[in-house]
Amino acid sequence: MTKKYLQPDVTVDVVLFMIEDGDLKVLLVEREHGPYEGMRALPGGYLHEGETTRIAADRVLHNKAGVDNVYIEQLYTFDTPGRDPRGPNFSISYVALVPSPLPIGESDDVQKPEWFSTKKLSKLAFDHQEIIDYAIERLRGKLEYTTIGFNALPKLFTLSQLQQVYEVILDKTLDKRNFRKKMDQLKMIKETKHVLSGMRQRPAKMYSLLAKPGTIKNF
């Protein structure tokens, strides 16, 4: 094919969220060279030959955060002209939500990935702030009608932990009794015989999700 049409560079960027210390945090790396050197950016990179964007996103998550098999979905394709000063570039972005505490060790990547509160971010490289804002919006939307929120927790969790996931993502406090009533009538979680104890307070019952995360609707 003769080059009559635009063939942009394709990068894949991942907005990886985690909930920690009652805060919604996002994983950022430091740019080592090129445009925006020294600034914080979303973990990402060029698409390799033979890769789908989904596989590239998995690779980025594995290399930068040391996580595998996490919830991930395609977010949006950003193609504003000039978003990369080097030339035409599309960012196919993905959102992911991983459990806290992280089950796997940190990565040995050189770009020092770090978690930052989404509430106080300094100026980021490229249009990555815009991408993060859009990702938060998507996360909030999906929280209302899917089981996406459970991805922020390990397999066994307490109702207080679950409520905190909702509170942090929606950025508002919820009533404890109403929240539990809702969870009860949705019949999506089941009590286990485990308790979370040793925490200077009454031990909490632990629950598990009945269906696969991300599938059930009608919250």
Partner DNA sequence: GATTATTAGTGTACTAATAACACTATATCA
Partner DNA sequence: TGATATAGTGTTATTAGTACACTAATAATC
The 97-136 contact track toward a copy of itself, x by CB under 8 A, reads ----------------------------------------
DSSP-derived 3-state class of residue 78: strand
In sequence order, which residues have a C-beta less than 8 Å from that of residue 116 and are 6 or more positions away? 25, 26, 27, 28, 40
Asked whether position 173 contacts DNA by CB under 7 A, the answer is no
Asked whether position 123 contacts DNA by CB under 7 A, the answer is no
CA end-to-end span of the chain, whole Å?
Answer: 49
Classify each residue of 34-48 as buried b or exposed e, where b means 16 or more C-beta atoms within 10 Å of its C-beta: eebeeebbbbbbebe
Asked whether position 181 contacts DNA by CB under 7 A, the answer is yes
Smallest CA-to-CA distance from 207 within 154, 133, 145 is with 154
- Which of 22, 38, 50, 198 is the binder for a copy of itself (CB under 8 A)? 50
Selected range binding a copy of itself among 33-41, 58-66, 86-94, 159-167, rule: CB under 8 A? 86-94
Paired with 24 in beta bridges are: 19
Binding site for DNA (CB under 7 A): 158-160, 175-178, 180-182, 185, 195, 197-205
Binding site for a copy of itself (CB under 8 A): 1, 4-10, 46-54, 74, 76-77, 79-81, 86-87, 90, 92
